[in-house]
Amino acid sequence: MKEPVFTGSAVALVTPFRNYKIDYEKFGELIEYHIKNGSDAIVVCATTGESPTQTTEEHLEAVGFCVSKAAGRIKIIAGTGSNDTVHAVHMCRTAQSMGADGLLMVTPYYNKTTQRGLIKHYLHVADRVDIPIILYNVPSRTGLAITAETYAELSKHPLINGTKEASGNIGLVAETLSLCGDEFNFWSGNDEDTVAIMSLGGKGVISVVANILPAESAKMCALALNNDFPAAAKMQIGLMKLIKALFIEVNPIPIKTAMNLMGFDVGELRMPLCEMSEKNLETLTAVLREYGLLK
């Protein structure tokens, strides 16, 4: 059995920007907020953290800061995926040297590859690091989906710990687990799929909503891990309107906008991401008020 990197709710943390630089004072406040409010892990510099608009130096500096600030109080998982295998090795090895607890590696995007290429890509990286890797399957962004057979092959490597599954294909989870058993871990990559994936044996979620509701996300996962699926499902269903609003435009536009409306003051988005449309902003604001998150 592969011990999961974490169980429960990991926040896909936003990156606070101010005047085209990372606001490290605010970054530190966010890390403390999640430690205080029960998040089980922090994922830094992934999709929600706007990693595609960060330089390599800035990206790695942010990882190092989070590891140092957390100081072992919460697990830090570094987004280190790339569509260039050699660059992915560099990012993974550097994050490892900084003290990251795990690595999150999205599938290659744009140039993409075949399933054979995916296997070669991930095994090449896994053979060159010493900490666990979480794969990241998000075909809506990358144009490339991991199959159950590829998951099964990759599960044989001791450092390929599991996957963040954001395809929306719940059947893929069941099919993969039928091939891999407990040698491969699943985390939901979509907030709306958390309880469904956990009901099949998933270990938790890498969550966008946890940026503003960390305690609630952690509680829902704890209920599911304790096999109280009726209570977990009730929480999941209760959050659906908020989840929908937080994805009304491309992530992380809505979550960062919501955080600024709520007073987190996480700063601007980096272009090409931009401010929400007026209509969608009205919808988001109304939903936040409905959930008691705005006065």
Give SS3 for 170.
helix
For residues 290 and 243, is the Cβ–Cβ distance under 8 A? no
Given the residues 26, 69, 75, 164, select the one marked as catalytic. Answer: 164
Neighbours of 155 (CB within 10 A): 23
Active site residue 164: yes
Alpha helices in the chain (DSSP H): 24-36, 56-70, 85-98, 115-126, 139-142, 148-154, 170-180, 194-199, 214-225, 229-245, 253-261, 278-290
One of 136, 151, 203, 256 is an active-site residue; which one?
136
Residue 191 three-state SS? helix
Cβ atoms of residues 213 and 11 within 8 Å: no
| Overall residue count recorded for the chain in this entry | 295
254 neighbors 248 (Cβ within 8 angstroms): yes
Looking only at the bridges linking them, the beta strands covering 41-44 and 185-188 are: unpaired
Spatial neighbors of 51 by CB under 8 A, at least 6 apart, are 15, 45, 59, 79
Q: Give the active site residues.
A: 136, 164
